[in-house]
Amino acid sequence: MKSVSCKHWMSVLQKHGWILDRVKGSHHIFLKPGVAARISVPCHRGEDLKLGLLKAQMKVAGIKESDI
């Protein structure tokens, strides 16, 4: 699996129905209607997301690697 930037990951989340609820510091909080979970995406300048975090968020969001 390749690493992705936080901006690309946030656009993928939005395409799958996740809505940006709020931003607190460098963390963007996403919610989806009908889903109790929330996803917090840390967006630090010039850094890609760590693979473990990305895989965990993909599992919560129900997004496959091929959708990225």
Note the pLDDT tens digit of each residue in 6-16.
999 999 999 99
d(CA 16, CA 50): 21
For 21-36, what is each residue's pLDDT tens digit? 999 999 999 999 999 9
Q: Which two tokens stand for residue 23?
A: 């931003």
3-state secondary structure of 39: strand
Give CATH for domain 6-62: 3.30.920.30
Q: Which two tokens stand for residue 24?
A: 């607190």
> Taking the chain, what is the end-to-end CA distance rounded to the nearest angstrom?
10
Contact in structure between 9 and 54 (CB atoms under 8 Å):
yes
- Look at residue 3 and tell me whether its pLDDT is greater than 90: no
Helix 51-61 to helix 6-15 angle, to the nearest 10 degrees? 10
All structural domains of the chain with their residue ranges = 6-62
